[in-house]
A = this chain, B = another copy of it.
Amino acid sequence: MPEAIPVDGATAEHVLEHLRHRGARVTTARRAIVEAMVNAQGHRTADEIAAAIHDAYPSINRSTVYRNLEELERLGVLVHAHLGHGAATYHLAANAHSHLVCERCGVALSVPTELFSELSTTMLAQYGFTIDPLHFSVLGICAPCRSTDAP
């Protein structure tokens, strides 16, 4: 497992320089993906990223996007999380956060990872299990949906 090098500055150039430093090539596809992720407020699925860069770079293939998301994660630039049923969502590692996902309306709330510190301690103490709150989402019912419940 490569050492995790967090990317502090969230500018595209900063990230691309990091890639060069790690020995990875800076290609058109990678530049487009990194720019899309930097521009994205919050998180995006692989297909959303592919769609977002398709206007400026129509030739970039879906499989290239998938392969690069995987590689960019391996290089410590991105992280992905599973939101329950649907596709995984990616965001910059520098902008790491956890997710609450509503089972009813599907909204994904971004919340600080520190909220899981107690759970982390408990799971480690009782099961020797090191939790990874960036990788999974907490499913449930959001406040607006709960208030419109049939009583």
* SS of A interface (majority): mixed
Count A-side interface residues using an 8 Å CB cutoff: 34
On whether A130 and B140 interact (CB within 8 A), knowing A100-B123, A116-B119, the answer reads: yes
Contact across chains for A140 and B146 when beta carbons are under 8 A apart: no
Q: What number of copies of this chain does the assembly contain? A: 2
Q: Would you list which residues of chain A between 108 and 142 have a CB under 8 Å from chain B?
A: 109, 111, 115-116, 118-119, 122-123, 126-132, 135-142
- Interface residue? A56 (CB, 8 A): no
**Residues on B with beta carbons closer than 8 Å to the beta carbon of A132:** 103, 139-141
Pick from B123, B141, B150: contact of A138, CB below 8 A.
B123
The smallest C-beta distance from A127 to any residue of chain B, in angstroms, reads 6
**Residues on B with beta carbons closer than 8 Å to the beta carbon of A119:** 115-116, 118-119, 138
Pick from B1, B102, B109: contact of A150, CB below 8 A.
B1
A residues with CB within 8 A of B: 1, 82, 84-85, 100, 102-103, 109, 111, 115-116, 118-119, 122-123, 126-132, 135-143, 146, 149-150
